């Protein structure tokens, strides 16, 4: 059996849903489970709705109406106004949120976030399952929250692998023999049946969980690019497709920020030796990229850009070395304020890190550290990571840039830079 994952970009409109159905219709290799994300950028709008509701802004109802209209327009285009149970099914899902936002919010903001934001995936899968059935691909909508079991860390649910595996084996495997299964990415359920989400962009990870628990032959992620490229085409005019990538390189690239695949996706697949194919839903006949255990080095250097970086330099006030005790204090504070370090470098009495610039969090971190450390803080920077770098590639990305921090290992070079002042 195979797993297909379709992200928001592939189902951003009715034409996308039809294209998905064509890809599914052409699949002839046996049982299939499809994991789908929310349509287009709806998760961002659901986040806006959550914030509006939590701050009791008048905008909440207008945003929610816009979200509903967006989906009903897609349903209207697909079904051309013909009576189909999907209208009621989707309307009933929205009613749950109508009820929720009628009441005043309580303090559990992450819980509220998950109950609202998760409906993007619930609704998109209902629409796609209905369309597959309408066009002759016999499909069954299943609720991922019954299968992907998590703890109650709302917004970042931690997967209970043992329990999820047992339930998937017991309840999902029998359903696969008769239908194409359509389910949601990004969402899970707690033991008390509350909805959790697995972290933004988490649908790839969901697909990998299903692939692992079902011992799938392969996972295919359908994208708007021909496969994994050696750089994000949004930043680079000239990119090359990488036909084959090792699990190891895939983890490194995604960890450093190649947003084409969620970084947590690779491990479950690697652990079971399940290949991951990244293919284009625009040109489904293309081969895409195969991510497998084959350990060939990348044929070309790969670039990852992250903008909006802050460089924080930390110096012990008492001039003590940056060794175990100071390092553990510093890491403990980063952990406490949930700030992810993108790259780091230390000297005898300084420790520098580049992080995504989220001012409110960083301010709290700096306050917390400043009793014992002197802090210097630089904003508006870029971080470039080059996997399999050479001097040419470094020269190419550093034209007119001043390098503030550089970290090199055998295969990876990272530089934090700013524009040179003319």
Residues that bind ligand ADP (CB under 6 A): 7-10, 223-225, 228-229, 231-234, 258-260
Entry field: residues in the chain: 422
- Which of the listed partners (ligand ADP, ligand PHD, none) does 202 bind, with a CB threshold of 5 to 8 Å by partner kind? ligand PHD
In this chain, which stretch among 35-43, 88-96, 289-297, 394-402 interacts with ligand PHD, using CB under 6 A?
35-43
Interface pick for ligand PHD out of 31, 37, 212, 265 (rule CB under 6 A):
37
**Cα–Cα nearest to 351, from 367, 329, 335:** 329
Taking the least distance from each CB to ligand ADP, the nearer of 39 and 365 is 39
The answer to whether residue 38 forms part of the interface with ligand PHD (CB under 6 A) is yes
The answer to whether residue 203 forms part of the interface with ligand PHD (CB under 6 A) is yes
**Cα–Cα nearest to 9, from 34, 50, 43:** 43
Taking the least distance from each CB to ligand PHD, the nearer of 43 and 164 is 43
**Cα(195)–Cα(188) distance, rounded to whole angstroms?**
6
Q: DSSP for 12-50?
A: SSHHHHHHHHHHHHT--SS-EEEEE--STTHHHHHHHHH
Buried/exposed 145-156: b ≥16 CB within 10 Å, e otherwise: bbbbbbeeebeb
* Smallest distance, ligand PHD to C-beta of residue 48, A: 13
Which H or E run contains 67?
helix 59-79
Taking the least distance from each CB to ligand ADP, the nearer of 1 and 260 is 260
Q: In degrees to the nearest 10, what's the CA dihedral of 203, 206, 208, 209?
A: 170
Taking the least distance from each CB to ligand ADP, the nearer of 198 and 231 is 231
In this chain, which stretch among 201-209, 242-250, 282-290, 353-361 interacts with ligand PHD, using CB under 6 A?
201-209
* Smallest distance, ligand ADP to C-beta of residue 304, A: 7
In this chain, which stretch among 15-23, 36-44, 153-161, 248-256 interacts with ligand PHD, using CB under 6 A?
36-44
**Cα–Cα nearest to 144, from 89, 108, 182, 101:** 182
**Cα(413)–Cα(92) distance, rounded to whole angstroms?**
51
Interface pick for ligand PHD out of 16, 185, 268, 316 (rule CB under 6 A):
185
Residue where the block lists tokens 């079991």: 149
* Smallest distance, ligand ADP to C-beta of residue 250, A: 10
Could you tell me whether strands 2-6 and 218-223 are parallel, antiparallel, or unpaired per DSSP bridges? parallel
Taking the least distance from each CB to ligand PHD, the nearer of 201 and 252 is 201
- Which of the listed partners (ligand PHD, ligand ADP, none) does 258 bind, with a CB threshold of 5 to 8 Å by partner kind? ligand ADP
- Which of the listed partners (ligand PHD, ligand ADP, none) does 268 bind, with a CB threshold of 5 to 8 Å by partner kind? none
Q: DSSP for 227-256?
A: S-BSS-TTT-SS--B-SEEEHHHHHHHHHT
- Which of the listed partners (ligand ADP, ligand PHD, none) does 185 bind, with a CB threshold of 5 to 8 Å by partner kind? ligand PHD
The answer to whether residue 276 forms part of the interface with ligand PHD (CB under 6 A) is no
Nearest 5°: phi and psi at 97?
-75, -35
* Smallest distance, ligand PHD to C-beta of residue 197, A: 8
Helix and strand numbers (H, E) in the chain are: 14, 16
Taking the least distance from each CB to ligand ADP, the nearer of 112 and 228 is 228
Give the binding site for ligand PHD (CB under 6 A): 7-8, 37-38, 43, 120, 185-186, 200-203
């Amino acid at each position: 059996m195979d797993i297909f994952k379709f992200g928001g970009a592939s189902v951003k409109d009715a034409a996308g849903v039809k294209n998905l159905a064509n890809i599914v219709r052409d699949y002839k290799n046996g049982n299939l489970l499809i994991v789908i994300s929310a349509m287009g950028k709806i998760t961002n709008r659901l986040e806006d709705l959550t914030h509006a509701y939590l701050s009791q802004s008048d905008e909440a109802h207008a945003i929610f109406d816009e979200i509903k209209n967006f989906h009903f327009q897609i349903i209207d285009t697909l079904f051309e106004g013909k009576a189909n149970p999907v209208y009621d099914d989707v309307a009933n899902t929205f009613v749950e949120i109508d009820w929720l936002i009628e009441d005043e919010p309580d303090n559990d903001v992450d819980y509220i976030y998950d109950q609202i934001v998760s409906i993007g995936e619930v609704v998109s899968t209902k629409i796609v399952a209905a369309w597959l059935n309408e066009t002759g691909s016999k499909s069954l909508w299943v609720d991922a929250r019954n299968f992907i079991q998590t703890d109650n860390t709302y917004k970042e649910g931690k997967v209970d692998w043992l329990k999820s595996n047992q339930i998937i084996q017991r309840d999902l495997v029998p359903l696969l023999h008769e239908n194409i299964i359509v389910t949601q990415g990004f969402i899970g359920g707690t033991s008390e049946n509350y909805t959790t989400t697995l972290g933004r962009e988490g649908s790839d990870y969901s697909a990998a969980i299903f692939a692992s628990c079902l011992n799938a032959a392969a996972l295919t992620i359908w994208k708007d690019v021909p496969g994994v490229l050696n750089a994000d085409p949004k930043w680079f005019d000239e990119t090359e497709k990488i036909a084959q990538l090792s699990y190891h390189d895939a983890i490194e690239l995604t960890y450093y920020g190649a947003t084409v695949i969620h970084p947590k996706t690779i491990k479950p697949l690697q652990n079971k030796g399940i290949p991951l194919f990244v293919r284009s839903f625009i040109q489904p006949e293309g081969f895409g990229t195969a991510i497998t255990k084959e350990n060939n080095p990348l044929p070309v250097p790969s670039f990852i850009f992250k903008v909006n970086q802050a460089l924080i330099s930390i110096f012990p006030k008492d001039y003590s070395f940056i060794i175990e005790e100071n390092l553990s204090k510093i890491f403990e504070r980063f952990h406490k304020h949930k700030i992810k370090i993108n790259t780091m470098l230390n000297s005898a009495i300084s420790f520098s890190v580049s992080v995504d610039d989220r001012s409110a969090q960083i301010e709290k971190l700096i306050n917390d550290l400043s009793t014992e450390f002197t802090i210097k803080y630089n904003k508006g920077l870029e971080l470039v990571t080059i996997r399999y770098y050479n001097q040419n590639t470094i020269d190419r990305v550093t034209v007119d840039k001043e390098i503030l921090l550089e970290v090199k290992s055998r295969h990876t070079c990272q530089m934090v830079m700013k524009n040179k002042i003319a």
